[in-house]
Chains A and B, each alone.
Chain A
């Protein structure tokens, strides 16, 4: 079975500060890893994905994440937060045999203060 743990259900940063959202996964086979963002009253939008190529993955809106197998982590970062980054962020895991079955974490609510 696969699982995802997102450390910190709420993260608050100042505008212009570093954003770091933590994700640890568990998988018995090589994983595919995803970060999604959800704005209020909207569906999920893909930020970036790791599918066994480069371990540093760049996504949309200036976000990036690094796959660290030894730490079973896939933390999401952005060098400088913008007010528009305020949203809920979800980390998810699947694998080669999962099809469209993603296992999501509980989510992290990001607040950006002016």
Chain B
């Protein structure tokens, strides 16, 4: 499946954070979602073959990396209080038809 680390972390405003994800074997696409408390997940961006190829309505201080070994990172700079959320990583195989996403359990970020 998809594994994420850390499961919980606390940061202060202005700091930077890196969240990590290990995709399901055989998947070639990783996407990241932000889920604020009481809301549905919001698409941040997706990476395909180590290139960003789709971004939601998030500022450039949200960035990512996808590595050849099925791992990926989400980096957030200059943290703001509103960045407090559950961050979900999802992997999928992008071929023809619908992408079926496999989600990790998430990393819960609290910004103080």
Contact = CB atoms under 8 A, between A and B. Distances in A.
Interface of A: 4, 32, 36, 41-46, 49, 51, 90, 92, 94, 96, 98-107
Contact of A107 (B2, B39, B88, B102): B39
A102 B88 contact: no
Interface of B: 2, 29-31, 38-43, 46, 48, 53-54, 56, 88, 90, 92, 94, 97-106
A100 B103 contact: no
B104 A43 contact: yes
Given A43-B106, A99-B53, A101-B31, A106 B99 contact: no
A90 B98 contact: no
Contacts of A32: 98
A5 to B, nearest CB: 11
Nearest to B89: A43
Contacts of A107: 38-40
A87 to B, nearest CB: 14
Given A94-B98, A99-B53, A99-B94, A43 B40 contact: no
B40 A101 contact: no
B92 A90 contact: no
A102 B39 contact: no
7 contacts: A49-B98, A94-B98, A99-B94, A100-B92, A102-B101, A106-B38, A107-B40
